[in-house]
A and B are shown apart, each in its own frame.
Chain A
Amino acid sequence: MNLVLDFAPPLVFAALGGVLSERAGVVNIGLEGMMRFGAFAAAAGAIFSGSPWVGLGCGALAGAAAAAVHALLSLKFRADQVVSGIALNLVALGLVTYLLQVVFGSSGVSPPCPALPRDRFGHSALAYAALLAPFLFHAWLAWTPQGLRVRAVGEHPRAAATLGVRVLPLRALCVLGSGVLAGVGGATLSVGLLGQFDTRMPAGQGFMALAAMVFGKWTPLGAAAAAFLFAAGDALQRQLSFSLHAADLRLEGVFLALPYALTLLVLALGIGRSRAPAADGVPYDPEA
C-alpha cells in the first residue's frame, strides 16, 4: 500500500492532465515530454533555490511552457495534434538531455536536490493531493459552468461557439492546465520521490498515464482509478520479485506489460462504452 501511494501520484497527475486536454478536444500524446520537462525543471529549481516547493512550481511552469508550444502549434497553426505531441516528446528527449549536460555537466543524473518533506507514513503532500485531486476535478468538470463549457468544446465546438463560448482560448487554457498537471507529475518523480533528476525519467510513465486515461474512459475518476490500479500492479510486481525468487523467472517484463495489454483488451472488447470525446483531435476553424 505504501508503494502504491509512491507510484500512483505521477500517473494520477499526468492522467488527469490528459483528461483535461482531451475533454476539451485536444489530443495530448506529449504528456511524456511535458513530464520530462517538469521533472528536470523541478530538480533544477529545487537545487538553485534550495526549496523543493519552488522546484515544484518550476516543474509546473515548465510543463505549462511545453504545453504552450503544443497549444500554439495545434490551435494557432492548426498542426496535426498527434504530430505536435510527438514532436514535443522528441524535443523533450533531446533538449533535457542537453540541458542536463550544460547545467550540471552530467549525462546521467543531476546532483541530489532538496526533496519534499514526508509525513510519518513516508508520504509527501503530493501523495494526498493525488488522492484528492480526482474528486475535485470531477466535481469541477461535472457540476460547474466552466466544466460544462470544457465538455462542450470537446464534444461539439461549433454548438458551443454559437452559445458564445470562445472555443480556441478555452482549449488553449485546458492544454496549459494539462501541462501544469503533467509537469507536477514529473516533479513528483524528481523532487517528490527520488530526490534528484535521472535522465531516464519519466521512463514511459507519460504513456502509461495516457493508457490510464483511455482505460478510465476519459473521466477524471476513471483515469485516477486506472492510475492507482496500474501503480498497484507495479508495486505487486516489485514485492513478488523480492519475495518469491521470481527474479529467477524474470517475469518483470510480463507484469510491466500488463497495464498496456489490459487497456488494449478493454478497448478491443469494447467493455463498457469507451469513447473519446467526439471532437477530440479535430482542429477547430472559427472562420469555416
Chain B
Amino acid sequence: MLELRARIFAPARDPLWGAVLSLLASLILSFAAVALSGRDALTGFADLAAGAFGGPGPLGETAIKTGVLLLTGLSVAVAFTVGLFNIGAEGQLIWGALAAAVVGRSDVPGVLLWSLLAAALAGALWGSLAGWLKVRRGVHEVISTILLNWIAIHLVHGWLVAGPLAAPGSGAEVSVAGTAPVSPAAWLPRPLAGSRLDAGLPLALAIAAGVWFLITRTVRGFEWRAVGAGREAAEASGIPAGRRICEGMALSGALAGIAGALLILGTEHRYPGVFRTGYGFDGIAVALVGGGTVWGSALAALVFGALRAGATRLQLVGIHPSFAELTQGLAVLLVAAPRIFQPLLVRLRGRALPPASAPPIPTVQP
C-alpha cells in the first residue's frame, strides 16, 4: 500500500500533481469567492458544467475554445523547449488572424489551406523576430515579446483594420465592423448541425500530435531540447544553438498564428473592428499549468476551454463570466510556486523522498 502510494506520487510526477492540485485549489478558491459574495455557488457549478458539456451546442463552444487555447499553449510550450519564455503569442496570433482574414478573401482554389498557411507564416515571422533579436542582438525575449505584442495590437487594430484594410465604402460605422468578410470557401467546415463545433479542434489535435512527435522523436527536436536545457553545452557539442532558437521561435509563432486563423475562419469570418482575444496571454497559462509538455497543455486547454465556455452560463445566476479569468489566474499563481504543494505531496507519498527537480520552466536571466 505504502509502495503503491509512493509510486503514484513519485517525485518525478510532482509537476503533474502540482498542476492538478493547483487547478483544484483555484476552482475551490474561486467558488469560495462566489459563495462569499452571496451567490449560490452550487447552482453556479452545475450551470458551469451544463454550459460546458450539456449537449452539442455547449460542447461545440468548449471545443472551439479548447482548440485555440491548445495552439497558443503549444506555442508557449515550444518556446520553452528551446529555453525561451514567449510572452508574444498574442501578437503572433493577431498577425496570423489578419493574414488569414486577408488571404481568405480571395477565391483561389484551396483558399482555406492558403489562409492557414499565410497565418502560420505571419505568426512565424513575428515570432522569429523575437528569436533573432535574442540571438543576434542579445535582447531578452520577455521584454522584446511584450513590446512586439503592443506593436502588433496598435498597428493592426489602430491602423490596418481601421484604415487601409477596412471594408470598402468605409464610413465610420463600417470601419468598426472590420475588414471585408472572407469567402465562404475559407470557412472552417462545421460537421454537426446545431453546434458551432468546427474543424478547429481536430486540426489543433493533429498539430499537437505532430509537435509532440517533432520534439520527442526527431533529431531536430532533441537538439531543440538540448539548447533549451543548456545553450552553451549544446553549442559545445556542435549544435548551432542560435539557429535552433530561431527555428523554435518560428514554430512557436506559427502555432499562435494558426490559432488566430481558427478564430477568423471558424467563428468571426472577417477581422472584426473590435477583436479582444486574450487567447495569446491565456496560452501562457495553458503551457505553465501543462508543465511545458504537449499533453499537459492539451489537458489544461480542455479545462480552461470548458471553463470559458461554461462561464457564459454563469450570468444566469448573477455570476460574472470573468469568473473564468479569475480561476485561470489563480491556477497560474499557484502553479508558479511548486513549493506550496511540496509538503502535501511529501505526505501523500507516505515517506520522505528527495524532492523532484523543478518543472521545465526556464529561469529568466536577462
Q: How would residues 46 to 89 of chain A score, 1 for a CB under 8 Å from any chain B CB and 0 otherwise?
A: 00000000000000000000000100010001111111101111
Task: Find out whether the CB atom of B151 lies under 8 angstroms from the CB atom of A257.
Answer: yes
Task: Find out whether the CB atom of A250 lies under 8 angstroms from the CB atom of B162.
Answer: yes
Some 23 contacts from A to B, beta carbons below 8 A apart, are A77-B340, A80-B363, A82-B142, A84-B336, A86-B281, A91-B330, A94-B328, A97-B325, A98-B320, A101-B322, A102-B37, A204-B150, A250-B158, A250-B166, A252-B162, A254-B155, A257-B158, A260-B148, A260-B150, A264-B147, A268-B139, A270-B137, A270-B138
Task: Find out whether the CB atom of B326 lies under 8 angstroms from the CB atom of A260.
Answer: no
Residues of A within 8 A of B322 (CB): 93-95, 97-98, 101
Task: Find out whether the CB atom of A264 lies under 8 angstroms from the CB atom of B144.
Answer: yes
From residue A44, how far is it (CB to closest CB) to chain B in Å? 14
- Give the number of residues in B that approach A within 8 Å (Cβ atoms): 56
Q: In the complex, which residues 71-128 of chain A have their Cβ closer than 8 Å to any Cβ of chain B?
A: 73, 77-84, 86-95, 97-98, 101-102, 107
> With A90-B328, A249-B163, A253-B160 given, can you name 7 additional A-B contacts, CB distance below 8 Å?
A82-B87, A87-B332, A107-B320, A214-B143, A251-B159, A252-B162, A267-B137
CA separation between A87 and B366, bound complex, in Å? 20
Tell me whether B156 is interfacial, beta carbon within 8 Å.
yes
Task: Find out whether the CB atom of A101 lies under 8 angstroms from the CB atom of B320.
Answer: yes
Q: CB within 8 Å of A: which residues of B?
A: 33, 37, 85, 87, 133, 137-140, 142-144, 146-151, 153-160, 162-163, 166, 175, 281, 284-285, 288, 320, 322-330, 332-333, 336-340, 361, 363-366
Residues of B within 8 A of A204 (CB): 150, 153
Tell me whether A280 is interfacial, beta carbon within 8 Å.
yes
| A253 touching B85 in the complex, CB below 8 Å, given contacts A79-B336, A84-B333 | no
From residue B207, how far is it (CB to closest CB) to chain A in Å? 24
Task: Find out whether the CB atom of A211 lies under 8 angstroms from the CB atom of B147.
Answer: yes
Q: In the complex, which residues 230-266 of chain A have their Cβ closer than 8 Å to any Cβ of chain B?
A: 249-254, 256-257, 260-261, 263-264
| A94 touching B364 in the complex, CB below 8 Å, given contacts A86-B87, A252-B158, A253-B158 | no
Tell me whether A172 is interfacial, beta carbon within 8 Å.
no
Residues of B within 8 A of A83 (CB): 288, 332, 336, 361
| A73 touching B144 in the complex, CB below 8 Å, given contacts A82-B364, A93-B322 | no
Chain B contact residues: helix, strand, loop or mixed: helix
Residues of A within 8 A of B329 (CB): 87-95
From residue A264, how far is it (CB to closest CB) to chain B in Å? 5
CA separation between A82 and B143, bound complex, in Å? 10
From residue A25, how far is it (CB to closest CB) to chain B in Å? 11
From residue B322, how far is it (CB to closest CB) to chain A in Å? 4
Task: Find out whether the CB atom of B158 lies under 8 angstroms from the CB atom of A254.
Answer: yes
Task: Find out whether the CB atom of A86 lies under 8 angstroms from the CB atom of B325.
Answer: no
Task: Find out whether the CB atom of B281 lies under 8 angstroms from the CB atom of A90.
Answer: yes
Tell me whether A283 is interfacial, beta carbon within 8 Å.
yes
The interface size bin for chain A is: 35 or more
From residue B255, how far is it (CB to closest CB) to chain A in Å? 19
CA separation between A93 and B337, bound complex, in Å? 20
From residue A26, how far is it (CB to closest CB) to chain B in Å? 11
From residue A166, how far is it (CB to closest CB) to chain B in Å? 21
Closest 9 CB pairs of A and B: A253-B158, A94-B325, A253-B159, A90-B329, A94-B326, A250-B163, A77-B337, A91-B329, A97-B322
- Nearest B residue to A261, CB-CB: B151
From residue B316, how far is it (CB to closest CB) to chain A in Å? 14
Tell me whether A176 is interfacial, beta carbon within 8 Å.
no
- Nearest B residue to A265, CB-CB: B147
CA separation between A207 and B285, bound complex, in Å? 18
Residues of B within 8 A of A101 (CB): 320, 322
From residue A216, how far is it (CB to closest CB) to chain B in Å? 13
Tell me whether A29 is interfacial, beta carbon within 8 Å.
yes
Residues of B within 8 A of A207 (CB): 146, 149-150
- Nearest A residue to B326, CB-CB: A94
- Nearest B residue to A211, CB-CB: B147
Tell me whether A229 is interfacial, beta carbon within 8 Å.
no
Tell me whether A39 is interfacial, beta carbon within 8 Å.
no
Q: How would residues 201 to 221 of chain A score, 1 for a CB under 8 Å from any chain B CB and 0 otherwise?
A: 000100110110010000000
Residues of A within 8 A of B175 (CB): 250
From residue B158, how far is it (CB to closest CB) to chain A in Å? 2
Tell me whether A281 is interfacial, beta carbon within 8 Å.
yes
Tell me whether A276 is interfacial, beta carbon within 8 Å.
yes
Residues of A within 8 A of B137 (CB): 267-270
Residues of A within 8 A of B87 (CB): 29, 82, 86
CA separation between A86 and B33, bound complex, in Å? 21
Which residue of A102, A280, A283 has the most chain B CB atoms within 10 A of its CB atom?
A: A102
- Nearest B residue to A97, CB-CB: B322
Tell me whether A180 is interfacial, beta carbon within 8 Å.
no
Tell me whether A282 is interfacial, beta carbon within 8 Å.
yes
Task: Find out whether the CB atom of A90 lies under 8 angstroms from the CB atom of B154.
Answer: no
CA separation between A62 and B130, bound complex, in Å? 34
Residues of B within 8 A of A78 (CB): 337, 339
Tell me whether A27 is interfacial, beta carbon within 8 Å.
yes
From residue A181, how far is it (CB to closest CB) to chain B in Å? 19
Task: Find out whether the CB atom of B363 lies under 8 angstroms from the CB atom of A90.
Answer: no
CA separation between A204 and B320, bound complex, in Å? 23
Which residue of A86, A90, A92 has the most chain B CB atoms within 10 A of its CB atom?
A: A90
Residues of B within 8 A of A77 (CB): 336-340
Task: Find out whether the CB atom of A29 lies under 8 angstroms from the CB atom of B146.
Answer: yes
Task: Find out whether the CB atom of B159 lies under 8 angstroms from the CB atom of A250.
Answer: yes
Q: How would residues 134 to 161 of chain A score, 1 for a CB under 8 Å from any chain B CB and 0 otherwise?
A: 0000000000000000000000000000
Task: Find out whether the CB atom of B139 lies under 8 angstroms from the CB atom of A90.
Answer: no
Residues of A within 8 A of B148 (CB): 260, 264
CA separation between A192 and B325, bound complex, in Å? 28
Task: Find out whether the CB atom of A82 lies under 8 angstroms from the CB atom of B85.
Answer: yes
Residue A98 contacts which of B144, B323, B337 (CB distance < 8 angstroms)? Answer: B323
